[in-house]
Amino acid sequence: MCNRLAAVHIPAASPMKERMRASANPESALAVAPGVHWIGAFDPDLRSFDIILRTANGTSYNAYAVRGSEGVAVIDTVKLGFSETFFRRLESVAEYDEITTIVLNHLEPDHSGALPELLRRAPGAKLHVSPQARLMLKGLFDPGEFADRIVSVGTGDSTGLGDRRLEFFNTPYLHWPDTQCTWLAAEGILFSADFLGCHYCDTRLFNDAVGDFRFSFEYYYAHIMRPFRAHVRDALDLIEPLPIKVIAPGHGPILRNDPRDYVARYRALSAPGLHGASTKTLLVFYISAYGATRRMAEAVAAGAESASTAAGEVRVSLYDLEGGHAQPFVDLIEEADALVFGSPTINGDAVKPVWDLLSSLTMVDVKGKLGAAFGSYGWSGEAVPMIEDRLRRLKLRVPVLGVKARLTPTADEFSACHDLGRQVALHLLGRAVPRTIDMANLV
Amino acid sequence: MPKASVTFQDIGVTVTVPAGTRLIEVSEKVGAGITYGCREGECCTCLTRIVSGHEHLAAPSVLEDQVLKDNLAPRRHRLACQAQILGGNIVVQPA
């Protein structure tokens, strides 16, 4: 159930009761500021979102109506199944022929489900989306009949509602390429889409009235925003100078009490950590059945160490995957510059702990890091190329061909491991010797 | 078959390739840092800076041109999944 407190007895003079009076009638719009209403929908029973997220409190699909002297803007819509509620709330604060502006800050179906119908019901409204969203719209529905009503907007663009203006900020990859924020300067309200949101359904709606949602806020950042933390920082650069009074996100509580605390929290969460920028970090992860891959890992690490001409140039670390959980390793990987994985081949594949870690890396930004692989095998040795392929698919650079050794590695194979580590480290330091190869020799 | 060479500056590797190869095919095999998404010239993920040898790539299609324009791509940038190597020496970097 949603966090409704209606069943709880509350004394007449209780501040909680005052807050309850302000909480949502299931069918009415909620005032956020003069002329600004929440017209979204509550989904208290949702327990799994986008497959990858769990929620103990359901979620809300937040949409807003902003009234100006010469028109009404609707900012975002709701998931398709909640359209009826959304339209009822919208109709309680505006007529369709008053709607001049529709803004879709994010195209994902939980925000755009009611969009085609809204465009039909409000034929005088122009749809304002980011340039990326315009390209993606056709994947969502056939925008043909609305094509001449779609306006691309970016940072610096705005649209008027008479006495009020909506300004746009292009904030891509929070968490889709299309995402943007919309700023209502007259009231100091930032409509931020998924940015600064969370899955937490509470009909009291405002952050000073709802239950404790800190866990949901952090969990949402960790699973949705974290892979895009460089983009989070770019967006924060844009919005931090604004005199924000209210943050109105696409999910979860509206942040009207100390909204800047949430901005500051995102700044802290998205900041690079651990080591100084001048130190490169190379991590070697391995798992070994009889010790062969472990000894190869040690040779790779020693080779990487040997590339440093001065102490501290490359910090090399060695981890046995058998002795750790994926999550702390993911935290390390987020900050690392190069990742080298060692796995034996068992039944024609790399082993599960390696895949468990590699499949966890979509939670962090690994694009552009260096990657490499090595491992011992019995008769076929598929693990190394499979890991290399996965690293490429994760958008790492894999500049050095991996090393495979049959059963017990020979001295030459240990030497090749040493060279693998050294070459990766040299690439990291920008000191790799340029090579020329023929495409026919590439696997 | 005519040959060409492509240098991936980010990993310091030059690859000799047959004419007609698309940049992405080489980039993937050699492990360079050009990333890719749809591979169909729509998502612009594989945007690549052509440091030199731009003239040795086949001219962009109408679709590629539109995607480059929509994504505000700077001059001398191409989509690696679309750009076909014709000959000569080309030097590239991930955008």
Q: Which of residues 160-199 of A touch B (CB under 8 A)?
A: 177
Query: What integer pLDDT is reported at residue A356 of this predicted model?
Result: 95
- For the cut 90, the answer to whether the pLDDT of residue B71 exceeds it is no
A436, closest residue in chain B (CA to CA): B14
Chain B residues touching A157 at Cβ < 8 A:
none
Q: How far apart are CA A66 and CA A77, in angstroms?
A: 13
Q: Which of residues 115-154 of A touch B (CB under 8 A)?
A: 131-132, 134-135
User: Can you give the pTM of this predicted structure?
Assistant: 0.78
A33 backbone dihedrals φ, ψ, rounded to 5°: -160, 170
Query: What integer pLDDT is reported at residue A275 of this predicted model?
Result: 57
Q: What is the mean pLDDT of chain A?
A: 91
Of A368, A388, A436, the CB nearest to B33: A368
B16, closest residue in chain A (CA to CA): A438
Q: Under CATH, to which class is B3-94 assigned? A: alpha beta
Query: With contact defined as beta carbons under 8 Å apart, do A420 and B34 qualify?
Result: no
- For the cut 80, the answer to whether the pLDDT of residue A333 exceeds it is yes
Lowest mean pLDDT, pick from A9-23, A283-297, A386-400: A9-23
| B93 vs A: CB within 8 A | no
Instruction: Say whether B28 and A392 touch across the interface (CB within 8 A).
Output: yes
Chain B residues touching A436 at Cβ < 8 A:
5, 13-16
Q: Nearest to residue A340, comparing CAs of A409, A415, A428?
A: A428
- For the cut 50, the answer to whether the pLDDT of residue A18 exceeds it is no
Residue A327's pLDDT band (cuts 50, 70, 90): confident
Query: What integer pLDDT is reported at residue A277 of this predicted model?
Result: 62
SS3 labels along A325-384:
CHHHHHHHHHHCCEEEEECCCECCECCHHHHHHHCCHHHCCCCCCEEEEEEEECCCCCHH
Query: What integer pLDDT is reported at residue B31 of this predicted model?
Result: 82
Lowest mean pLDDT, pick from A59-63, A69-73, A279-283: A279-283
Q: How far apart are CA B35 and CA A394, in angstroms?
A: 9
Strand pairing category for A314-320 and A338-342: unpaired
What are A115-136's pLDDT values in tens digits? 999 999 999 999 999 998 988 8
User: What residue spans define the domains of chain A?
Assistant: 15-270, 280-427
- For the cut 50, the answer to whether the pLDDT of residue A66 exceeds it is yes
| A398 vs B: CB within 8 A | yes
Q: How far apart are CA A14 and CA A36, in angstroms?
A: 27
| A438 vs B: CB within 8 A | yes
Of A135, A371, A443, the CB nearest to B70: A135
CB atoms within 10 A of CB A50: 11
- For the cut 50, the answer to whether the pLDDT of residue A50 exceeds it is yes
Query: With contact defined as beta carbons under 8 Å apart, do A77 and A116 qualify?
Result: no
Considering chain B, what percentage of its residues have pLDDT values greater than 90?
67
Query: What integer pLDDT is reported at residue A3 of this predicted model?
Result: 45
Let me know if domain A280-427 sits in CATH 3.40.50.360.
yes
Query: With contact defined as beta carbons under 8 Å apart, do A269 and A227 qualify?
Result: no
Residue A435's pLDDT band (cuts 50, 70, 90): confident
- For the cut 60, the answer to whether the pLDDT of residue A106 exceeds it is yes
Considering chain A, what percentage of its residues have pLDDT values greater than 70?
93
Paired tokens of A1: 């159930």
Considering chain A, what percentage of its residues have pLDDT values greater than 90?
78
Of A134, A371, A399, the CB nearest to B13: A399
Q: How far apart are CA B27 and CA B8, in angstroms?
A: 8
**Mean pLDDT of the A189-199 span:** 98
- How many angstroms away from the CA of B22 is the closest CA of chain A? 12
Of A47-56, A68-77, B35-44, where does the model show the most confidence?
A: A68-77
Interface A:B, Cβ pairs < 8 A: 67
**Mean pLDDT of the A44-55 span:** 89
- For the cut 70, the answer to whether the pLDDT of residue A11 exceeds it is no
What are A345-366's pLDDT values in tens digits? 999 999 999 999 999 998 899 9
- For the cut 60, the answer to whether the pLDDT of residue A164 exceeds it is yes
| A156 vs B: CB within 8 A | no
Cα-Cα-Cα-Cα dihedral sign, residues A191, A193, A198, A203: positive
Chain B residues touching A227 at Cβ < 8 A:
none
- For the cut 70, the answer to whether the pLDDT of residue A10 exceeds it is no
Q: How far apart are CA A437 and CA A173, in angstroms?
A: 36
Query: With contact defined as beta carbons under 8 Å apart, do A399 and A370 qualify?
Result: yes
Q: How far apart are CA A384 and CA A361, in angstroms?
A: 18
Query: What integer pLDDT is reported at residue A349 of this predicted model?
Result: 96
Q: Which of residues 416-435 of A touch B (CB under 8 A)?
A: 427, 432-435
- For the cut 60, the answer to whether the pLDDT of residue B74 exceeds it is yes
Buried b (16+ CB within 10 A) or exposed e, A153-185: beeebebebeebebbbbbbbbbbbbbbbbbbbe
Instruction: Say whether A368 and B17 touch across the interface (CB within 8 A).
Output: no
- For the cut 80, the answer to whether the pLDDT of residue A194 exceeds it is yes
Let me know if domain A15-270 sits in CATH 3.10.129.10.
no
Query: With contact defined as beta carbons under 8 Å apart, do B48 and B79 qualify?
Result: yes
Chain B residues touching A443 at Cβ < 8 A:
29
Query: What integer pLDDT is reported at residue A174 of this predicted model?
Result: 95
Q: What is the complex's ipTM, to 2 decimals?
A: 0.84
How many helices (H) does chain B have, and how many strands (E)? 2, 5
